[in-house]
């Protein structure tokens, strides 16, 4: 039985898989907001590091060219995009610096976090969506860039739609503790600390009281590249309430390293954060979204309480909090139809996923999982390979490919229609040696 339903246009799926890094494809939205003035004062924090807020107190949810070498990290397309139902009822495929001292910053963060714990929004939902950006208004890097027009559309949707934008640390804390969050809760993350984040994105986030998290690879700042932020800029963001997260020292492919080198990457990065900011972040993002069992164990041992990959899907109370999903956004995959679809998505809850390790030891992979509840309409879409899906009863799903996949990254997305025409989504990203 083929995994792709009849309405899926194969050409569109192939297009989704065209943008690749290290031989793979990827992609990765959420908050109920009212106009900016009414949003002021509530807690918001969005990624996998600390929390952020724009206003008198940081970390609160708001309702309402000597540049670096060409290491442009590709934002890959999700090849398992569900359909969008048109107005005629037919299904069509979804293509798919003020310098602050380290002591002041640390004290400010501590007081903000304490306040934030008191006002975190609550609700009955057990899931949230987190979006991932990289660059803003840098058209020469379309695979990791979002145009300012697209960005403005995203912000308009988040600040006028039925969403609650929260700081990622608050989302992590609530869901990890089994507590509820408002329906359609959204978190915002930005990887790599490019200067366009400071110059173009931050003023917009600040104007609309939207919290976000920036994941920083310390060596990229230490090298002084003109297209990255400086430590003064990062200190300014941190003091203003923006969450700063860890992203390793050298933005390396961590599964390629022996474990001692991985630990050194984490330790050296932590030392630089302590020196420059006066604290070490609590949330981490794996460079390129790549990890394996040893890398994840090292990140947890280093003191991080949550970590994000780059696989698509909504995070929920039963997620692996050391390998959380995000929806990536770039010029090719930043259109509003896809943004809205992702922002409103729900988790497709599964267990007993195989392969269990996020770096493959068998190629082609034997992929499978157990559904928490029956999903008869579910389909799965790999970034490479022709899939055959077998259903063992109503719960167990096994997928086999017609041959080995390329070295680099391989991802698979499984979707099923949920309540209120909201798609349930489960995505996995595997590193292929």
**pLDDT(83) > 60:** no
Q: What is the pLDDT of residue 121?
A: 86
What is the pLDDT averaged over residues 152-166?
A: 97
Place of tokens 């063992």: 392
pLDDT at 397: 97
Q: Are strands 423-432 and 145-146 parallel, antiparallel or unpaired?
A: unpaired
How far are the Cα atoms of 236, 374, 430 from residue 411, in angstroms, in the given order?
37, 23, 6
Instruction: Give the residue with greater pLDDT, 11 vs 196.
Output: 196
Where is average pLDDT lowest: 1-5, 26-30, 338-342, 388-392?
26-30
- Portion of the chain with pLDDT greater than 70, in percent: 73
Segment 236-261 shows an average pLDDT of: 97
Residue 209 pLDDT > 50, yes or no? Answer: yes
At residue 239, does pLDDT exceed 70?
yes
pLDDT at 200 over 80: yes
What the chain holds in terms of domains, given with CATH numbers, is 10-347 (3.20.20.370)
The Cα 176–Cα 311 span in angstroms is 19
Task: Please count the residues of the chain.
Answer: 433
pLDDT of residue 23: 33
Is 171:181 a contact under the CB 8 Å cutoff?
yes
Q: Residue 40 above 80 pLDDT?
A: no
Mean pLDDT estimate for the chain:
80
The residue with greater pLDDT, 139 or 108, is: 139
Over residues 365-387, mean pLDDT = 96
Which DSSP category does 224 fall into? Answer: T
Q: What is the pLDDT of residues 182-195, one digit of tens each?
A: 999 999 999 999 99
**Can you give the pLDDT at residue 120?**
76
How high is the pLDDT of residue 8? 32
CA-to-CA distance for 187 and 172, rounded, in angstroms?
A: 10
For the chain, give percent helix, strand, coil, nearest 5: 30, 25, 45
DSSP letter for 197, please: I
Mean pLDDT, range 267-275, rounded to an integer? 98
What's phi and psi for 271, nearest 5 deg? -60, -40
**Is the per-residue pLDDT at 9 higher than 60?**
no
Average pLDDT (111-135) is 76
More confident residue, 217 or 106: 217
Average pLDDT over residues 270-299: 98
* Mean pLDDT (whole number) for 77-99: 36
What pLDDT does 122 receive?
85
> What percentage of residues in the chain have a pLDDT greater than 90?
72
Residue 359 pLDDT grade (very low, low, confident, very high; cuts 50, 70, 90)? very high
* Res 98 pLDDT > 70: no
Question: Lowest mean pLDDT: which of 63-77, 315-329, 392-406?
Answer: 63-77
Distance CA 78, CA 411 (A): 8
* Predicted pLDDT of residue 61: 41
User: What's the pLDDT score for residue 7?
Assistant: 30
Higher pLDDT, 12 or 280: 280
Q: What is the pLDDT of residue 119?
A: 59
């Amino acid at each position: 039985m083929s995994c792709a339903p009849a309405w899926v246009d194969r050409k569109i799926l192939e297009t989704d898989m065209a943008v690749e890094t290290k031989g793979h494809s990827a992609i990765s939205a959420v908050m109920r907001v009212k106009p900016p003035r009414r949003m002021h004062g509530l807690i918001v924090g969005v990624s996998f590091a600390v929390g952020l807020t724009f206003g008198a107190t940081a970390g609160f949810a708001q309702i309402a060219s000597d540049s670096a070498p060409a290491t442009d990290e590709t934002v890959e397309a999700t090849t398992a995009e569900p359909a969008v139902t048109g107005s005629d009822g037919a299904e069509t495929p979804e293509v798919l610096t003020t310098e602050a001292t380290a002591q002041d910053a640390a004290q400010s963060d501590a007081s903000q976090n304490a306040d934030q714990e008191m006002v975190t929004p609550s609700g009955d939902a057990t899931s949230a969506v987190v979006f991932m950006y990289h660059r803003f208004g840098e058209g020469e890097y379309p695979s990791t860039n979002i145009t300012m027009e697209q960005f403005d559309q995203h912000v308009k949707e988040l600040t006028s739609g039925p969403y609650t934008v929260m700081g990622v640390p608050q989302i992590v804390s609530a869901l990890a503790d089994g507590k509820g969050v408002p329906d359609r809760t959204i978190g915002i993350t930005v990887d790599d600390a490019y200067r366009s984040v400071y110059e173009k994105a931050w003023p917009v986030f600040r104007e609309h009281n939207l919290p976000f998290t920036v994941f920083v690879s310390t060596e990229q700042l230490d090298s002084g590249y003109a297209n990255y932020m400086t430590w003064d800029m990062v200190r300014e963001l941190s003091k203003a309430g923006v969450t700063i997260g860890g992203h390793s020292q050298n933005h390396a492919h961590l599964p390629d390293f022996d474990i001692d080198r991985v630990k050194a990457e984490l330790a050296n990065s932590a030392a630089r954060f302590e020196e420059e900011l006066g604290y070490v972040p609590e949330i981490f993002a794996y460079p390129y979204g790549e990890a394996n069992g040893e890398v994840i164990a090292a990140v947890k041992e280093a003191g991080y309480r949550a970590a994000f990959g780059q696989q698509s899907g909504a995070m929920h109370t039963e997620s692996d909090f050391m390998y959380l999903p995000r929806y990536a956004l770039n010029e090719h995959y930043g259109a509003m139809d896809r943004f809205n679809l992702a922002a409103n998505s729900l988790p497709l809850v599964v267990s007993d996923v195989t392969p269990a390790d996020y770096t493959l030891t068998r190629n082609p992979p034997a992929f499978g999982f157990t559904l928490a509840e029956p999903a008869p309409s579910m389909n799965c879409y790999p970034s490479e390979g022709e899939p055959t899906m077998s259903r063992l009863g109503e719960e167990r799903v096994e997928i086999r490919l017609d041959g080995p996949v390329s070295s680099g990254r391989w991802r698979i997305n499984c979707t099923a229609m949920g309540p209120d025409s909201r798609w349930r989504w489960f995505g996995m990203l595997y590193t292929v040696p």
